[in-house]
């Protein structure tokens, strides 16, 4: 299983990695990208089972990345890990095709609840 | 929707606990002269609500938080790591405060000021850092550029 963490904060990418291990996904291969554009470039060449993306990033935001993937990019499961968890953001994420939105601050349990239906 | 001190306490404690685990319990105190904000992270919100959320703390506390987030000793954290961690702290608290305000709104990327370094924008490089003096007092002008726009930094995006 290969996961892609997309976040412009290196500290947050490390915390998401740690939380994935604690949530039971320690055996997954994890790649990282610092913004949506970098993630899009990586996804053109690398097969990924699930993208865990921040929303607010420089160069290309998470929702812009999801829109590009939905329109003409490689088909990949996609979820948000973001500090913006309002009802309207969740609805917009769902409309664009996101499978879940984990709001920061998160817990190991919130990761498990979001990932289990997607990854098993 | 609006925000009061109670809401700020709740949001900040939730974020702090998530970053520091069992050690993450903040005590609420009255504002005072002891506030030593040498490191400040800030995000702005524009749209249904226009404003800003800033998080300031001492250099020592910023280093302890950064060390916890990067899983290194506080005395070895770099300026970039400090800016990354405090910027993310501001982003998390600001994003949650934004959610309590009228929307829809847009959250900015974080900006961080560190007394020794001035303004640090996570992911940006300092193009020019020019100091001036007038009447015995110093002033600084900084020009920053997002690192990903240069070939060199594409190879080293951190």
In chain B the domains, ranked by start, together with CATH numbers, are 5-117 (3.40.1550.10), 123-158 (no CATH)
How many beta-carbon pairs under 8 angstroms link A with B? 78
**Which residues in B lie closer than 8 A to residue A11 (C-beta atoms)?**
66, 69-70, 81, 84-85, 88
Checking if the pLDDT of B156 tops 80, the result is no
**Which residues in A lie closer than 8 A to residue B103 (C-beta atoms)?**
86, 88
Identify the closest residue of chain B to A37 by CA–CA distance.
B148
* Confidence (pLDDT) at B63: 95
- The verdict on a CB contact (< 8 Å) between B15 and A104 is yes
CB neighbour list of residue A64: distance below 8 Å, 6 or more residues apart: A36
* Domain harbouring A85, CATH code: 3.40.50.2300
Identify the closest residue of chain A to B90 by CA–CA distance.
A83
- The verdict on a CB contact (< 8 Å) between B88 and A11 is yes
Nearest to residue B108, comparing CAs of B55, B50, B46? B46
Which segments in chain A show pLDDT lower than 70?
none
Which H helix or E strand runs over B135? none
* Confidence (pLDDT) at B31: 80
d(CA B139, CA B131): 6
The three state secondary structure string of B6-51 is HHHHHHHHHHHHHHHHHHCCCCCCCCCCCCCCCEEEEEEEEECCCE
Identify the closest residue of chain A to B153 by CA–CA distance.
A34
CA angle B136, B137, B139 (to 5 degrees): 140
Neighbours of A114 (CB within 10 A): 20
Nearest to residue A13, comparing CAs of B158, B111, B17? B158
CA B12 to chain centre: 13
- Give the confidence band of B155 by pLDDT, cuts at 50, 70, 90: very low
Q: Is A85 on the interface with B (CB under 8 A)?
A: yes
CB neighbour list of residue B118: distance below 8 Å, 6 or more residues apart: B129, B140, B142
Burial B31-70 (b: 16+ CB within 10 A, else e): eeeeeeeebbbbbbbeeebeeebbbbbebebbbbbbbbbb
**Which residues in A lie closer than 8 A to residue B104 (C-beta atoms)?**
88
Domain range holding A73?
Answer: 2-119
- The verdict on a CB contact (< 8 Å) between A38 and B107 is no
A52's torsion region: left (phi>0), alpha (psi -120 to 50) or beta?
Answer: beta
Structurally, how many domains does chain A consist of?
1
d(CA B15, CA B2): 19
Checking if the pLDDT of B148 tops 70, the result is no
Query: How many angstroms separate the CA of residue A24 from the nearest CA in chain B?
Result: 18
Query: How many angstroms separate the CA of residue A107 from the nearest CA in chain B?
Result: 7
Checking if the pLDDT of B34 tops 90, the result is no
* Interface list for B 104-123 with A (CB within 8 A): 104, 107, 109, 122-123
* Confidence (pLDDT) at B154: 35
Digit-coded pLDDT (tens) for B66-102: 999 999 999 999 999 999 999 999 999 999 999 999 9
d(CA B155, CA A34): 12
Helix (H, G, I), strand (E, B) or coil at B111: strand
User: What do you get for the CA distance between the two ends of chain A, in Å?
Assistant: 11
Q: Is B87 on the interface with A (CB under 8 A)?
A: yes
pTM: predicted TM-score of the whole model, two decimal places:
0.91
Nearest to residue B153, comparing CAs of B95, B80, B90? B80
- The verdict on a CB contact (< 8 Å) between B15 and A84 is no
Q: Is A109 on the interface with B (CB under 8 A)?
A: no
């Amino acid at each position: 299983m290969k996961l892609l963490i997309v976040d412009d904060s290196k500290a947050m990418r490390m915390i998401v990695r740690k939380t994935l291990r604690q949530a039971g996904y320690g055996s997954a291969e994890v790649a990282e990208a610092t913004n949506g554009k970098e993630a899009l470039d990586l996804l053109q060449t690398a097969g990924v089972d699930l993208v865990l993306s921040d929303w607010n990033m420089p160069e290309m935001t998470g929702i812009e990345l999801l829109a590009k993937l939905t329109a003409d990019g490689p088909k990949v499961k996609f979820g948000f890990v973001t500090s913006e968890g309002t009802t309207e953001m969740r609805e917009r994420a769902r409309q664009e095709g996101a499978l879940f939105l984990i709001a920061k601050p998160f817990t190991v349990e919130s990761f498990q609840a979001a990932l289990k239906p997607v990854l098993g | 929707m609006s925000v009061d001190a109670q809401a700020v306490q709740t949001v900040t404690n939730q974020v702090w606990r998530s970053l520091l685990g069992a050690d993450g319990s903040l005590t609420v105190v009255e504002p005072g002269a002891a506030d030593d904000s040498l490191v400040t992270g800030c995000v702005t919100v524009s749209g249904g609500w226009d404003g800003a959320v800033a998080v300031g703390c001492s250099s020592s506390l910023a280093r302890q938080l950064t060390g916890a987030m990067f899983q290194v000793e506080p005395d070895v954290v770099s300026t970039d790591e400090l800016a990354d961690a405090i910027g993310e702290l501001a982003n998390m608290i600001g994003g949650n405060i934004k959610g309590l305000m009228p929307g829809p709104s847009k959250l900015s990327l974080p900006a961080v000021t560190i007394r020794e370094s001035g303004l640090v924008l996570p992911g940006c490089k300092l193009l020019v850092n020019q100091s001036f003096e007038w009447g015995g007092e110093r002033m600084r002008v900084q020009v920053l550029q997002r690192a990903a726009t240069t070939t060199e930094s594409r190879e080293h995006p951190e």
